[in-house]
Amino acid sequence: MITISNLTKKFGSHISLDDVSCEFNKNDSIALMGANGAGKTTLIRSILGYYHPDLGKILIDGSCPIKDRVKVLQNISFVPQLPPPIKLNIQELMQYICMSTDIDKELIEHYSNEMKLDIKSNLYKSFFKLSGGMKQKLLIAISLAKKSSIIIYDEPTANLDPKARDDFYRLLKQNEDEKVLLFVTHRLEEVQELVNRQIYMDLGKIVSDERF
């Protein structure tokens, strides 16, 4: 599904990804780990088509995420580490997402309810005014409602309380079939039950890739 071949990305003289090659296939559930500055976020952003590689390429189902971004992103859900301070209210944000991605609004509401987020009473509240946990729950609900074949989570549980984390893992378990799940995490124990592959990065390189 995702093929990364000899990918190199530099920022000035700093090499953030150094000749990285790997493949992520259906039913792979990966914990992407490494110290700060190891290149995890750069790798994710390259998969999402945000960075132009200096060398190498990424193909997602045979398509380039930069040239065919609309087609590629139709099948990717992404939740960032820190929810961005979006000024749109929830109704507008849902309108943006539903119209651009053809997601059913009811499905977002369904997953929000599953995450114990009362979306209806907050519809006209600006997204950035919600609490950290509420924002994260909404982004998770959107990612699940999108029904993508690739789901990328960058430290998704950082703002969640233990109960919300359990809800999140339960929903993921129900939705993981036939998908690529990619978790960027510093705490393997949190996603250990969900993952079947562990990749460790350091200084822009993949230093270990274990399946279990």
Spatial separation of the C-alpha atoms in residues 53 and 178, rounded to whole Å: 28
Which residues bind to another protein, rule: CB under 8 A? 45, 48-52, 69-74, 76-78, 80, 82-88, 92, 95-97, 99-101, 139
- According to DSSP, the β-strands at 205-211 and 197-202 are antiparallel
Give whichever of 69 and 147 is closer to another protein, judged by the CB atom. Answer: 69
Q: HEC states along 140-204? A: HHHHHHCCCCEEEEECCCCCCCHHHHHHHHHHHHHHCCCCEEEEECCCHHHHCCCCCEEEEEECC
Give whichever of 43 and 139 is closer to another protein, judged by the CB atom. Answer: 139
What is the nearest approach in angstroms of another protein to the Cβ of residue 1?
17
Give whichever of 7 and 198 is closer to another protein, judged by the CB atom. Answer: 7
Spatial separation of the C-alpha atoms in residues 198 and 184, rounded to whole Å: 10
What is the nearest approach in angstroms of another protein to the Cβ of residue 41?
9
How many Cβ atoms sit within 10 Å of the Cβ of residue 125? 13
Give whichever of 82 and 188 is closer to another protein, judged by the CB atom. Answer: 82
What is the nearest approach in angstroms of another protein to the Cβ of residue 72?
8
Q: Collapse the DSSP code of 34 into the 3-class scheme (helix H, G, I; strand E, B; otherwise coil) and give the result.
A: strand
What is the nearest approach in angstroms of another protein to the Cβ of residue 17?
13
How buried is residue 1: exposed, middle or buried, by Cβ count under 10 Å (0-12/13-18/19+)?
middle
What is the nearest approach in angstroms of another protein to the Cβ of residue 20?
17
Spatial separation of the C-alpha atoms in residues 56 and 24, rounded to whole Å: 16
Give which of 91, 93, 86, 135 is closest to 115, Cα–Cα: 135
What is the nearest approach in angstroms of another protein to the Cβ of residue 195?
22
Give whichever of 41 and 196 is closer to another protein, judged by the CB atom. Answer: 41
Spatial separation of the C-alpha atoms in residues 48 and 120, rounded to whole Å: 30
Give whichever of 40 and 200 is closer to another protein, judged by the CB atom. Answer: 40
